[in-house]
Amino acid sequence: MIGTIRGVVLGTVVLLPLAALAAWALARRRGTAGETPDRAWRRSLAEVGIVYGTAPWVWMIMLPGSRAGAADRRVSLVPLRDLLTVLASEPLTVTVQVVGNLLVFAALGFFAPLRFAALASVPRVLALAAGCSALVETAQYVLRLDRVSSVDDVLLNAAGAGLAALASRRWWLAPRKSPVSRLS
């Protein structure tokens, strides 16, 4: 069952209480170690949010197709070609493909700048998400999962992370100033 899209969705829903418990346990541990409650919760929720919000999507897109291992590897390196083909499809296909790809690294884009001050910029989030997406597309190709490895997927995955980063911008951590910049 975990090898199907429905299984991944069901597993994600079932694991929500465990994710909440993990965030609580991390925050409590950090609190007893001396962190302020606000900082402990912020870091814990961001870390759990990154994993819980990204892992199921990555698992889903790494599920093998019906001809995995036997099908020829397919690559699409022309930007927007696949996207235009999808946009000419039925509305449900458009919604599933486009929205699904926008959501793959959205949790990473939303929570990473909350947890890591070094990622508190949209270009950095876009670069991180594009790199992660390129790794996933490469893995799909290498593992012969009967999926198309497409540059459009990388673009949509990164765009989703960038949009999510913008949605969380008001809560980002301020980048720390280096000792050199404090002196000037």
Q: Is 59 exposed, middle or buried (0-12, 13-18, 19+ CB in 10 A)?
A: middle
* Model confidence at 41: pLDDT above 80: yes
Domain annotation covers residue 87:
yes
* Model confidence at 1: pLDDT above 90: no
Domain annotation covers residue 161:
yes
d(CA 94, CA 99): 8
Domain annotation covers residue 133:
yes
- Per the structure, the complete domain to which residue 115 belongs is given by 5-176
Residue-wise pLDDT for 158-184, tens only, equals 999 999 999 999 999 666 666 655 554
Domain annotation covers residue 182:
no
d(CA 51, CA 28): 19
Domain annotation covers residue 91:
yes
- Provide the domain count of the chain: 1
Mean local confidence (pLDDT), 134-151: 94
Torsional sign, CA 158, 160, 164, 166 = positive
Q: How confident is the model at residue 19, as a pLDDT?
A: 97
Residue-wise pLDDT for 74-103, tens only, equals 898 999 898 888 888 888 888 888 999 999
